[in-house]
Amino acid sequence: MDLLDTLTAKGLRRELPTREEALAVLATTDDELLDVVAAAGRVRRQWFGRRVKLNYLVNLKSGLCPEDCSYCSQRLGSKAEILKYTWLKPEQAAEAAAAGLAGGAKRVCLVASGRGPTDRDIDRVADTISAIKDAHENVEICACLGLLSDNQAERLRAAGADAYNHNLNTSESTYGDIATTHTYADRVDTVTKAHGAGLSACSGLIAGMGESDEDLVDVVFALRELGSDSVPVNFLIPFEGTPLAKEWNLTPQRCLRILAMVRFVCPDVEVRIAGGREVHLRSMQPLGLHIANSIFLGDYLTSEGQAGQADLDMIKDAGFEIEGADEMTLPRHRSDVATGGSGGSCGSGGGCGPCGETPAAEEEESRNELVRVRRRGAGTELAPNA
């Protein structure tokens, strides 16, 4: 189709599509889905070959957050029965990170709940970075600690952090619908601070919160304008006990169209399938690898992912290969910019009712079984999933 030919040609030239073209990707039909995936796959292979980058999350501090983000199981007032614990010690975090690195991850993402870090928290994270890098010199470290104050990004960079994650999540016009304790502008400010300090900017979105196609296009265009090197695409995990627990708006086909739209708008950027891929893409996860070039290995912050070995098997069976620690993630033209020219590697069927429909109560129960609260790894005495 003319649209996909145009978008492919633009992606191969690193040319930004129009908003109308991006919206048209989201409006394609299921009959056109494989054509959409194939077109986005051509762009993905142009800039990233058949490599898949593995990232591993370590939740340094879980729950007890004062912010009211509606999508989050750690939010103020959340009744989700998640793990709650205060800061892991550096050696505990390093042990958790080692499990992911042994499974093939090249980036460790250190995450802590809360509005933003105190200066003491920055010291804790600096000690944790040292503990991890002392044992694994070439590992990439991405910190995700909330809103940054002046000079905190510089301190993280000096401590050895390579990247900073802070997602925009949704469009500026609808941000007030999902959070009131901070603003969209606060988030943009933190991404700008991180980038300005020499950290690779990692910033993405959450799909499935009831947003419109226009909202999705708005936030992805904003991420491109911010210069994000890595764009995590999260699919809402509707935790019981949160305001968005009933928001089941996604199908595997919708998720693939969203990923394709992100790839066309950000052709040479690390597009990561982040939280919720097991819940919403399900058996169609391998198709997502033809669009995205990065995933998380194993579990997430407060929910369980599929077994780490299953991730590795999926990548191999789909004909992809795991990106090595000595390989650059971003294309040369982007990695040189991200690292100041140093060339470094940095840059979420039928049922039993009438007409084959599943009864509503049974469907809701089936959906809820897809959301599995994390009970292993960091903050527990059980081995992590990697």
Domains and CATH numbers, the chain: 2-370 (3.20.20.70)
Q: Is 266 a catalytic residue?
A: no
* H/E element, 294: strand 294-296
Distance CA 202, CA 223 (A): 9
Q: Is 72 a catalytic residue?
A: yes
**Assigned token pair, 369:** 């079984």
Residue 345 pLDDT > 50:
no
* H/E element, 134: helix 119-135
What is the sign, positive or negative, of the torsion defined by CA atoms of 272, 312, 320, 94? positive
Query: Active site residue: 202, 255, 266, 346, which one?
Result: 202
Query: Active site residue: 75, 109, 257, 334, which one?
Result: 109
Q: Is 65 a catalytic residue?
A: yes
Distance CA 286, CA 288 (A): 5
Q: Is 142 a catalytic residue?
A: yes
164, 153 contact by CB (below 8 A): yes
Query: Which residue shows structure tokens 């040292």?
Result: 130
**How confident is the model over 207-243, as pLDDT tens digits?**
999 999 999 999 999 999 999 999 999 999 999 999 9
What is the sign, positive or negative, of the torsion defined by CA atoms of 29, 33, 37, 43? negative
| 335 — pLDDT class (breaks 50, 70, 90) | confident
DSSP 245: T
Average pLDDT over residues 247-264: 97
Phi first, then psi, for residue 384 (nearest 5°) are: -70, 165
**Assigned token pair, 166:** 């802070």
344, 335 contact by CB (below 8 A): yes
* H/E element, 272: strand 270-273
Query: Active site residue: 69, 255, 266, 346, which one?
Result: 69
| 1 — pLDDT class (breaks 50, 70, 90) | low
Residue 357 pLDDT > 50:
no
pLDDT score for 368: 64
Q: Is 69 a catalytic residue?
A: yes
